[in-house]
Chain A
Amino acid sequence: MTKAFRWLWFAATAAVLANGFRIAMYVVPEDVNQGEISRILYYHVPSWSGMGTFFALNLLCSVAYLAFRNSRSALADKADALAVASAEMGVVYCLIGMVTGSLWGRAAWGIWWTWDARLTTTLVLWLIYVAYLLLRRFTGGAQMKTLSAVMAIFGFADVPIVYMSTRWWRTQHPAPVFFGGPNSGLDPSMLPALFWNLAGWLMWGVFVVSLRYSAERRHQRAEQQAAAAALEAA
Chain B
Amino acid sequence: MKRPYFLLHLLKDLRLEWRSRDAINAMLFFALLVVVIFSLAFDPTRSVARQISGPVLCVAILFAAVSALNQAWARELRHAVLDAQRMTPAPASSLFLGKVLANFLFVSVIELILAPLFTIFYNLHPLGNAWLLLVAVPLGTWAILINGTFFAALSIRSRNRELLLPLILFPIFMPALLGMVLAISAVLSGETDPMLWIKMLAGYDVIFTTISLLMFEIVLHAED
Contacts and interface: CB of A to CB of B under 8 A. Distances in A.
Contact of B168 (A66, A135, A157, A166): A135
Contact of B182 (A124, A132, A154, A169): A169
Interface string B142-176: 00000100100011011110011001101110110
A79 to B, nearest CB: 15
Interface residues of A, number: 32
B98 interface: no
Nearest to A70: B224
A150 B212 CA distance: 10
A165 B155 contact: no
Given A139-B158, A151-B168, A169 B215 contact: no
Interface stretch (B7-15, B31-39, B203-211): B203-211
A107 B222 CA distance: 49
Contacts of B197: 168
Interface string B66-95: 000000000000000000000000000000
Interface stretch (A24-32, A86-94, A141-149, A174-182): A141-149
A172 interface: yes
Interface string B175-208: 1001100100000000010001100100110011
Given A138-B164, A168-B196, A157 B211 contact: yes
B218 interface: yes
A150 B208 CA distance: 12
B109 interface: no
Contacts of A132: 168
Contacts of B178: 165-166, 169
B168 to A, nearest CB: 5
A134 interface: yes
A140 interface: yes
Contacts of B160: 138
B54 to A, nearest CB: 14
Given A164-B200, A165-B178, A143 B222 contact: yes
B155 A135 contact: yes
Contact of B157 (A124, A139, A150): A139
Contacts of B182: 169, 172
A161 B203 CA distance: 9
A127 interface: yes
B164 A134 contact: yes
Nearest to B166: A131
A36 interface: no
B159 A172 contact: no
A162 interface: yes
Contacts of B208: 154, 157
A157 B207 contact: yes
Contacts of A154: 147, 150, 172, 208, 211
Contacts of A127: 170-171, 174
24 contacts: A124-B174, A131-B168, A134-B168, A135-B154, A135-B158, A140-B159, A143-B157, A143-B222, A146-B219, A147-B222, A150-B215, A153-B215, A154-B147, A155-B172, A157-B208, A161-B200, A162-B175, A165-B178, A165-B179, A165-B200, A166-B175, A166-B178, A168-B200, A169-B182
- 3 nearest interchain CB pairs? A143-B222, A127-B171, A165-B175
Given A138-B164, A161-B200, 11 more contacts: A124-B171, A124-B174, A134-B164, A138-B155, A142-B223, A146-B222, A147-B154, A147-B222, A157-B208, A158-B172, A169-B182
